Amino acid sequence: MIRCAVMALALTLTACSPQDLQTILGSSGTPSALSNEEVIAGLKEALRVGAERAVSSTSAADGFWGNALIRVPFPEEAIKVKNTLLDLGITKPIEDFERTLNKAAEAAAKEAVPVFVDAITSMTIQDGFTILRGGENAATNFLRERTSGALRARFAPVVQNATQQVALTSYWQPLATAYNTATLLTGGKAVNPDLDAYVTDKALQGLFTVLAQEERRIRIDPLARTTALLQKVFGVQ
């Protein structure tokens, strides 16, 4: 998986035509310059492996819950439920509910690999050079633009099934009931967010956040140059 560091080279070559790229690569003094095809093939490999790493990280046990950057929080539209119950000292049921949200997101993330692979496999040479000319998140943005619709469609039934398996509703209903009881005299009523849609959105956001992190880390990590291909590619810099 470390091979995804090849993306570092790709994302540091800006505004290059195929001919310009060959000139740059051929003038490095390396034994053999890389062809355009090799660079694009390496970029595809980097995208695929980087995506697999992001999926592996987010779909692992506590992949969302254990990562403060992508942890799925209490639904914002129901935050008054959380705040009211916290004021009443009801904390563990809230944490249990939030954990189940994250477990559902982790289950959904597992479905992303084949969608990413399809997008990467169909990437054209022009797509590759568009990424080469792009900014620091160009690869992540490419996959986000090409896969978000397919990922959402694939995630939705998985999230629905996952929320049933982790009994998400059973964690939510006691919170709603407790909130209703606490606000009975004031006429308050618990909101009922679409939990499946909420988890699906957060799973997508978290996955691409981690992918963007991988992209940034890969570009600046020289220790990732551990294969012959990476040594050859990075030798042209």
What is the full per-residue pLDDT of the chain (237 aa) written as tens digits?
Answer: 434 434 444 444 334 454 454 444 344 443 356 677 777 777 777 788 788 889 999 999 999 999 999 999 999 888 888 998 899 898 999 999 999 999 999 999 999 999 999 998 888 888 877 877 777 788 899 999 999 999 999 999 999 888 888 888 888 888 888 888 887 656 666 677 888 999 999 999 999 999 998 877 766 666 655 456 545 554 454
Q: Which two tokens stand for residue 3?
A: 């091979």
First to last CA, the chain: 22
What amino acid is encoded at 147 in this protein? T
Q: Which two tokens stand for residue 234?
A: 């990075």
Question: What was the pLDDT predicted at 36?
Answer: 75
Distance CA 234, CA 221 (A): 11
- Measured in degrees and rounded to the nearest 5, phi and psi for residue 159 equal -65, -45
Of 169, 39, 27, which Cα lies nearest the Cα of 100?
A: 169
Distance CA 102, CA 234 (A): 38
Question: What was the pLDDT predicted at 163?
Answer: 85
Question: What was the pLDDT predicted at 1?
Answer: 41
Question: Do the beta carbons of residue 218 and residue 5 sit within 8 Å?
Answer: yes
Question: What was the pLDDT predicted at 185?
Answer: 58
Q: Diameter of the chain by CA atoms?
A: 81
Token pair 């909420």 in the structure block, residue: 198
Question: What was the pLDDT predicted at 71?
Answer: 97
Of 56, 52, 64, 47, which Cα lies nearest the Cα of 201?
A: 64
The SS3 call for residue 171 is helix
Residues contacting residue 10 through CB under 8 Å, at least 6 positions apart: 39, 42, 43, 46, 128, 131, 132, 139
Question: What was the pLDDT predicted at 214?
Answer: 83
Question: What was the pLDDT predicted at 200?
Answer: 94
Distance CA 99, CA 172 (A): 12
